[in-house]
Structure 1
Amino acid sequence: MSTPSLGLGRMHSPVAPDRNLPLPAPRRAIGTQSRVPKEFVHLRYDDSVLVTDWHRTGAMNFRVTATWRIWTAGRRAAGFAAGAMKAAQMVRQTGLLLAHRSSGAPLTHAVLLRTFDFAFDVERLEAERKPTSLVLDVVCEITKSRGRSISGLRMTMSIHCAGRQVGTAATGFEWIPPGVYRRLRGAHAEAVRDQAPLPAPVPPAQVDCTADVEVVLTPTDTAGRWLLRGDFRNTALFDHPVDHVPGLVMIEAAQQAARLVTAQRTFSRQPHHGFRTYVEFDSPCWIGAQPAAEVRGTTTVRVTGHQNGAKVFTTTLTGPGS
């Protein structure tokens, strides 16, 4: 996911696994500045790795370094340019890195995302218009163990740039063996590799995008309501085949829906998220957004997702007022 100016809340994600496919044996990244092998953050592409190094500063305290990147036009088309997406990816990668490297989470296990909160000063970081070095100071707490082995962590993070705080975050992970995950997912355990033709997206410019591949919403005849769409070609959201819609897609859908109902460009404070269940690929998911009254120069939007008649996702986003 604390400074008063940034705001911080809590995202509850009781059943949001980060992945369910076996990872290849780790190897050093080649041709990048990162010392973190991409396998430790569950990615296929070296240039998608934002975390660069880590070391222990206490028994359960760590310092992680990362780079806030300004992507080239080619990567923009893959969905990497959005500030909220980079913030979410940085928090996600930090949590995965520490789960594997500091707590022994096996690379073959499925990682379950339990909580995920973040608030970043995105506009300040984007204004640099160049790669910017960040420092994430992380405090870990063991939340689950099996015998002497750790199987769950909660992490709180303070993010700094040139000595100034630019963000806060909190996240919690658990990891389970592949067999347990397969039983948990049942008929939906297999990763989806082929995608049927997608419906037409909202015009990209309306959600601060430049290409259809970045847009995760399809318009409907109902105001404030859209059909969720996720293009597998968007490697920022679909780095590798997965068995359910990734949480990052839902976060991006909330951002885009909030822009559509308020004409606001940036929502850098994400004070509450809730993943109630998996969002599956085999049935439509409907996204709704409702802005709240502006209070003290702040705009708040509540976004929900429904699938098969049940609520699967809720989030509240906050940004500067109009």
Structure 2
Amino acid sequence: MSSSLVLSKDAQVTHTTSNGTTTPDGTTVGVTVGATTPDIAQTSRNARNAQDAQDAQNSTIDIAAQPAGVTDGPTTPAATTPAPATRRTGTVKAAPVPPRLTTTVPAEYVHRAALAEVFLTGCEKTGPETYILTGQWPRAHTFFNTLDGRHDHLQACETFRQTGIYLAHAEHGIPLGHHFVMQDMTMTTHPEHLTIGSTPTNLTLHTTLSRPGRSPQFTITLKITDPQGQTLSTGYGHFTCISPAAYHRMRTASNPDNTTDPTTHTLKALVHTPTHQDPSIYGRVHSRDLVLAPTHQPRTYRLNPHPAHPVLFDHDGDHLPGMVLIEAARQATYPHPPTTQLTHTQTTFHHYVELTTPTTVTATPPTHTRDTTTHTVTTHQNGRLTHTTTLTHTHSQR
């Protein structure tokens, strides 16, 4: 995707005289009725004399002092102080203040195709590296949902992803068309504050986004609160922005197949095999949301998402998105103890997951504490580790 900056046309200058006539250069002229009219001829002579003096002064400039190969642009006219405006008597009624309207940020700035998948609504810069954004989570989402009527942990992960991309574009000037390489993401949610109410959940996102100088590497921290000030989620992570040319070089060099250019692949290359499984065994309601297929090995699956999924594959791409991998990790650890909620994920993306290479998903046996259950899930392609997610489920408060 490319972007362009549209510049406005040259502003037209309007002059005013006493009778509202049009001057020879096509500008409209007029003055306030009742004001003292100056001697126009004398004014014209004074202007010509001043211009002649300025031209004589300009002719003494040493041309050799100008930079080589630089074409001088038009001289900007000197600013003039406008005459005091005529004051009108009487009471002027103040215009009513329009209500503040809510809309989403541009979908292109969060790399979404569907406006319904944009969760951010505004942004205010509060310091050199700090921002307060606003957002909203819908009451009913087609994918980011839970069986017990709460906002989804992965919805917080997606909001985190959108925040980093938006700030890089809107506040740091990263061009549209650049690629974002997410290196790691750690998210914590608080289920006791995620219950869906009778209205959409309005969000305040307290964010820090830093980069060393003009480096393409970014560090982001985030805290999401609701209108009551309760913390819904916190997170931090790292990502890198790279140009299309650099992305192509990196992707070609890291292709495990070494046979085709991976950047030429589209989602049409992703093969999905219907498994006719009951989605409830993975904690889902709809079959289209399943991303795993069983194997003969315990706690081992084959990655099997549907390329037509409207959320996981909101737009085309040449590799599997990170959100697919985090969802695969969640499904691979189900069923967890029924009295627990997913409260923490720590994810590292080691390599791109290619569309044309089979992917194995493996979950470790769980470890337990008094209040938590923890799993680690990995994905491999051709024996190479591509992604790791550690998930912590916390027992509901008794």
Give the TM-score of the pair, scaled to structure 2: 0.67
Q: Measure, in 2, the Cα distance between the counterparts of 1:45 and 1:243.
A: 19
Equivalent residue, structure 2, for 1:62? 131
- Write out aligned runs for 1:30-41 (5 A): 33-41=102-110
Tell which deviates more after alignment, 299-308 or 200-209: 200-209
Amino acid at match of 2:264: E
Q: Measure, in 1, the Cα distance between the counterparts of 2:223 and 2:124.
A: 15
Equivalent residue, structure 1, for 2:179? 110
Shift of 1:24: 6.5
RMSD between aligned residues: 2.2
Is residue 2:317 matched to residue 1:252?
no
Q: Which runs of 5+ in 1 are unaligned?
A: 1-21, 27-31
The answer to which structure, 1 or 2, has the higher relative contact order (CA under 8 A, 6+ apart) is 1
Distance verdict in 2 for CA 1:286–1:193, change over 3 Å: closer
- Write out aligned runs for 1:195-274 (5 A): 195-200=270-275, 202-260=277-335, 262=337, 266-270=341-345, 272-274=346-348
Aligned mate of 1:137, from 206, 214, 217: 206
Shift of 1:126: 3.4
Shift of 1:37: 0.7
Q: Which runs of 5+ in 2 are unaligned?
A: 6-100, 147-151, 253-260
Shift of 1:165: 1.5
Verify the 8 A CA contact 2:104 2:119 in the aligned structure 1: no
Verify the 8 A CA contact 2:340 2:394 in the aligned structure 1: no
Equivalent residue, structure 1, for 2:144? 80
Shift of 1:282: 1.1
Distance verdict in 2 for CA 1:220–1:264, change over 3 Å: farther
Equivalenced residues, count: 286
Aligned mate of 2:159, from 90, 93, 102: 90
Q: Measure, in 2, the Cα distance between the counterparts of 1:129 and 1:232.
A: 33
Shift of 1:241: 0.8
Equivalent residue, structure 2, for 1:152? 217
Is residue 2:386 matched to residue 1:318?
no
Verify the 8 A CA contact 1:261 1:290 in the aligned structure 2: no
Give the TM-score of the pair, scaled to structure 1: 0.82
Equivalent residue, structure 2, for 1:8? none
Q: Measure, in 2, the Cα distance between the counterparts of 1:34 and 1:118.
A: 26
Equivalent residue, structure 2, for 1:16? none
Shift of 1:296: 2.0
Tell which deviates more after alignment, 54-63 or 186-195: 186-195
Q: Measure, in 1, the Cα distance between the counterparts of 2:276 and 2:388.
A: 22
Which structure's residues are more often strand, by fraction? Answer: 1
Is residue 2:352 matched to residue 1:288?
no
Distance verdict in 2 for CA 1:23–1:260, change over 3 Å: farther
Q: Measure, in 2, the Cα distance between the counterparts of 1:267 and 1:239.
A: 24
Verify the 8 A CA contact 1:302 1:315 in the aligned structure 2: yes
Amino acid at match of 1:97: Y
Shift of 1:274: 1.9
Verify the 8 A CA contact 2:105 2:120 in the aligned structure 1: yes
Equivalent residue, structure 2, for 1:164? 230
Distance verdict in 2 for CA 1:216–1:209, change over 3 Å: same
Shift of 1:290: 2.1
Verify the 8 A CA contact 1:190 1:243 in the aligned structure 2: yes
- Write out aligned runs for 1:177-188 (5 A): 177-186=243-252, 187-188=261-262
Spell out, residue by residue over 1:224-269, the C-alpha distance to the aligned partner (whole angstroms, 9 max, x if none): 1111111122122111111111110000001111114655763121
- Write out aligned runs for 1:22-33 (5 A): 22=1, 33=102
Amino acid at match of 2:249: R
Aligned mate of 1:302, from 376, 390, 395: 376
